[in-house]
Every structure is written in C-alpha cells, then in structure tokens.
Amino acid sequence: MSETIKRSDVNGQIAKLTIDMPGKGANILSGDVLNELDQHLDRLKGEDGLKGLIIVSGKPGTFIAGADLREFVASLDADREEIVGLCRRGRLLFAGLHELPFVTVAAIDGICVGGGAELAIACDRRIVSDAANTQLGFPEVKLGLFPGWGGTVRTPRIVGLYNAVEMITGGKSISSADAVEMGLVTESVPAERLLDAAIHLIEQETESQSFLEDRKKWARPLKMSENELSFLGVTAAGFIEQQTKGHYPAPLAALEVLIGGSSLDPQAAGELESEEMANLFGSPVNRALLNVFFLTDRNKKQFAAHQTSTPIEHVGIVGAGIMGQGIASTNLRSHLPTVMNDTVSDVLQRGMQSVLEQASYSRNLKGPDVDQTIALAPLLSPGLEITEFQHCDLVIEAAVERSEVKKNIFSKLEEVVDPKAVLATNTSTIPIDELASSLAHPERFLGIHFFNPVRKMPLVEIIRGTKTSDATIAAAFAYVKKIKKSPVLVRSGPGFLVNRLLLPYMSEAIELLLEGITPQAVDRVAKQFGMPMGPIQLYDVVGLDVAAYAEKTMASAFPDRIPQSSLVTDLVEAGRLGQKTECGFYSYRNKKRRAESDPTLNPFIDKYKKQDRDPDAEEIQDRLMLPMLLEACRVLDEQIVEDPRDVDLSLILGIGFPPFRGGLLFWADTLGVAKILKKLDRYQSLGSRYEPTRRLLRLAETGDTFYD
C-alpha cells in the first residue's frame, strides 16, 4: 500500500509531515491514514533535538477535506461501544500532538474541514494561506453528526465557547481572515510563504515557550458562570430550533455537548463527546444526510465524465423577463460575457438593470455592490436584434411559454449563429422534439431548464431530445458546471422530471381542499413532513396562472392520473393569481406580505366541494406524497432518468424535498415496499392515480429496494 504521510526535515531541527493521498484529488482521513499518523507521532516522541513539527498538505488548495465517509457508511450498523471506541481512538490520537516535547504547527492552504480541522486544532498553532479558497470549518451537522475526534473539546478552549457554538452548530466554514480575527489561527500569509512562516513561528515558540502555557490552559475547564452558560444555552437552542424546525437533532446535541463539556476537564469532556456521538451515528437522519452527500458527490463526478471540445465562452439570452434575467445574472457572476435580447426596448433596459443588480448583490450590504456592478457591466450587452447572437457559443431561449413563438425564435437563430453553437430552450413544459421539429440541425438543440429563482436554485435539468447529439449534451454539462449549478440529464417528456413529479403532489392538494380540508391544514402537514412550504402556498408563489397552464399540460398527457378541477381556473379568471396580485388561495394584503387566511376563498371552493371530512395528519401526508412516489416509479420505468439517485437529487435541489429524509426514493426505502403497498390499498377508491406500479409490485416480489 502506498504511503500517504511522508516525513522530511527542515534545517535539521524541524520535522515536516506531508499528507498526500496517492491518486486522489483531496486528502481524507481514512483508517489507514490515521494509522500512519499514529506511527509517525510515536517515532517523533522518541527523537531528541527537534524544535518542532509542521504538518502540511501535498495538494495545493486542499489541506484535508475531512474523514473517509465511506468508512462511516460501513460502520453505520456497528454497536454503540464500537462507535464510542472509534471516536475515542481519533481523539486520543490527535491528543498525542500535545504530548510531543516541542511545538506543533498546522500549515494550511485551502480546504480544512471536518476531521482535517480537528487535526489542525489539535496542533499547538495554525497558520493559513490568504488564498480565497482557504477555509476552516466543522460541517458535521450537515451529516447529522458533530465533531467526534475532540473538536467539541478543543475548539471552545481555543476560541471561546460562543465562537465554538456558532461554528460547530452552524456547520459553516470561515475564511482565513475570519479565522485570524477569531483566534483560531495565528496568522494568514501568501501560500508561497506558508512554510517559511511556519518555520519562523516555531523559532519564536521555541524561544518563548508560550505554547506550553497554552497547553496547560487548554487542559483545564472553561471559566464561565452558570448564568453565562444558561443564557448561551437558551438563546442558542432557540435559534437552532427556529432554523431546524426540530428535524435535525445534531445541532442541539452539539450544543449540549459543548456546554456540558465546558465545565469538565478535557478527558471527561472527550468521553462525553464520544458517548453523545454514538447517539447520532447511524440514526435515520444521519443515514439520510449521508445519502444526500453521496448524491451530490456522484453529481460532481458526472460533471467530469462529460468533456467537451466546444467550450462555452459567450452566451446569449432571448427574453428579458424574470427567467432570462436570472440566467443572465448567473452567467455574469461566473464572468461569462452575455448578450441579452428582447424585442421591446424598455423591457430590455429594465431587464439589464435588474441583471446587474442581481449579479452584484452583496449579502453584507443587502443590496448591489457598486464596485462589483462596475466590474460586471462590461460583460453584459444589449441586443434588440437577433443578429447580436452571431458570436455566441450558446443561446438560451427564455421567452413566453408558447410553442409557435419559440419555434419562430429558433428558426431565426439558426440563420445567425455559428454552425457549432448550441441552441437551448428554458421551457418547463413543451417537448423538446416538438420545438426541434422545424430545425435544420436538431442535433445541436436541447433543453436547459433552470428553476425560479435562478439565483437560489442549484438544479438545472439538461433535457435530451431524440436527435440531440452527445457533443451537445457535453457542452451543456460543461456550461452548467461553469456557472456553478448542478445538472441532471433528463429525457424529454411531459413536465420533464421535477414538474412531472411536482404536479401530482400539487393537484392532490386541490382534491383535499374539495374534500373540506382547509388550506392551512394541508400546508401544515406538508411542512411537518419537512417541505419548505405547503403545496397550497406553493400555488400562490408560482402563480396560479402558471400552475394552471402546467396542470393543463400534464392533464392532457396523463388524464387518468391528474385530477382535473375548475377551481384553479376560476381563481385565475377572478384575478386571484397568488402573491403577484396579493391574493390567491391566501391573502397577502398585509405589511409583511405573509400568507393569511382569506374568507373570500370559500365560495370558490364551495362551488366544487365534494364532501366535508376531517382526516388525520397521516392520511393527508399519504395523499400528498404517494402520488409523487408513484409518478417517480413511472419516470424510472420510462427511463426519463437512468437512476433513482437522479430523482432524489433533483427533488432535493429543485423543490426542497427535505434532505433529512434522504430523497423521495430513499425515504420510500426506509418505509419499505410492503408498507407502501398497504397504504396504497387504503386509497384504491380514488382511482388509477393510486394504483401500484409494475416496479413497486416487482420490488415487493423480489424484496429489492429502489437503491441497489
């Protein structure tokens, strides 16, 4: 087995351990790597004449990207004592750095997170590069865990309990500048000076011996009064509860460990950390969030599989409406020159102004950054005439959702753009082959479907038509990667993937209203399940006119499965379009434009009401989720996507399906097919939309699951 950690010496008195995993793009702390580290530390203990130890990475831009999560997965079913032992082993191994008779320094360039950050804080000192990608953090709560190798013990003793609570329970990484300000690291220097700075620091510490004083200080409990601890606990717990809605137990568990361990000596605090970690490890939420991690990792690797010989350097956008603006601003933030076209001059000017405001938006300023606006403005060009697209490598149409309009646009574009240019539509409903039917070169045409709001939504559906070439698909994947979005390859069909699965969920919510269930009750159950908002409020956010058009398309394709009601049509005709008209299923005529119950909705519902019922929450949840699940089975059978993982990632990124459930099909696997079929049997009187699919019946026969 190739070694990962290599020992070398600097000036004869400083040892350097370089971590460089063979054949990997980033370092991770696997069991084998920890064994190597243990052996190196054991040898260093017995050496005389050393002034210090420097730990560095052999991979520029990455220090250590955390622990080996595949080993985590292999241990998910381990018993409690084994998990406690694994945590204790890592913690005591890192503690060995403080037992060396000389100063230890972590010299960090790039990503240093999770187990890598725990290794770094186990050193006496840390120096970081000032590179933009250098960051330190403890993202374990995003996996349903918290730092388990001493991170909850050492961090509060170095930076204080308040800072440690914020870092560990929030799971967000901090920049090199913030790490210096917090006191987590000693200084930030250019990457090329990192080693020299570490050597200089060792010389200083050898003379001052201040690192030994810190070792003594960090070996004691923290000095905080009961009142301080109580105040921190109550305020932090309230904030965490507000953020997690009770669905994610790890942040609260981390808070309890941090506060409980602060008054203990490090050994006892470490044992508390290990014991509490065993309560989370292998839990349903931990398993689900690990699955989400691997879904995302798989998607990143799919990027690499699609290499293109036609890089996208200039992009054109047809349409200066909301979607066109969102796509253009995303291009600008990735420094892609973009031409925006609209046939109406005023619309184009307003659209360009909005694009620059979106592209230069600063979270700190809570508005556009003027300097950023000035820097990005040269990348955006207006185009009243379609001839402005002649130099574009990719043109994305985001015009009105009407087939004849789009076909006309693409006919004109074919006459203007370079023969190698890619043509794409942002349509959410119209089949790709229908739009490609009049093109001379349909092989370079496809769908690139963004979700609204583009700035916030990471998912992009790359929709393949019957004649779309592999080269066109590769170019689209490369483009979506360049603008830092997550692409999923989808075969063309009604609603493509996300909207096809979303519409049964939304239309079933309307059926529940017609059975006498209130909008608030429907939405409350959906949010209790973990959805970011309920389906009824989602109608208002999307716009009832937009939803009505999508429902019409889906009902036309699948009349036996999409319940058709005139309720939404009546609301649209009455001008109740949702948030944009301050009135839909809810009223938004208040200062904060929040959804409020609206009694004037009742006559619209009463006109079509079938009965008055008061079902329990389980039935409402079943009625919302099972139609979506059944449609996902059909999507897989029709090979709209190739893998259940594509379904799950798309729903998490596209509609906010709760990550703590692991994805729709992952959640179905946790329920088990037998339980799903039993639930479906209860609703057979509602028609074919609740009829078990061939895939479900086959899984029941074989005992298999959606995930292999």
Distance between alpha carbon 482 and the CA centroid of its chain, in Å? 17
Q: How many residues does the chain have?
A: 708
**Could you list the active site residues?**
449
User: How many CB atoms neighbour CB 302 within 10 A?
Assistant: 16
The pair of structure tokens assigned to 629 is 């699940």
DSSP secondary structure string for all residues of 81-105: HHHHHHHHHHHHHHHGGGGSSSEEE
Kindly state the helix (H) or strand (E) to which residue 434 belongs, with its residue range: helix 432-436
How far apart, in whole angstroms, are the C-alpha atoms of residue 50 and residue 155? 27
Residue 128: name the closest of 198, 67, 77 by CA.
198
How far apart, in whole angstroms, are the C-alpha atoms of residue 253 and residue 284? 15
Spatial CB neighbours of 28, under 8 Å, sequence gap ≥ 6: 21, 64, 65, 66, 67, 68, 115
**126 near 97, Cβ under 8 Å?**
no
**542 near 485, Cβ under 8 Å?**
no
DSSP secondary structure string for all residues of 592-631: T---B--GGGHHHHHTT--------HHHHHHHHHHHHHHH
How far apart, in whole angstroms, are the C-alpha atoms of residue 391 and residue 393? 7
User: How many CB atoms neighbour CB 266 within 10 A?
Assistant: 19
C-alpha distance from residue 114 to each of 32, 334, 566 (Å): 17, 28, 53
Asked whether the CA dihedral 204, 207, 208, 212 is positive or negative, the reply is positive
How far apart, in whole angstroms, are the C-alpha atoms of residue 670 and residue 667? 5
**337 near 313, Cβ under 8 Å?**
yes
Residue 687's SS3 state is coil
**168 near 273, Cβ under 8 Å?**
no
Q: How many helices (H) and strands (E) does the chain have?
A: 30, 20
List b or e across 210-244, with b for residues whose CB sees 16 or more CB atoms inside 10 angstroms: ebeebeeebeeebebeeeebeebbeebbebbeeeb
C-alpha distance from residue 437 to each of 398, 408, 423, 464, 473 (Å): 18, 12, 13, 14, 18
DSSP code at position 587 = B
List b or e across 644-668, with b for residues whose CB sees 16 or more CB atoms inside 10 angstroms: bbbbbbbbbbbbebbbbbbbbbbbb
Strands (E), 27-75: 52-57, 62-64
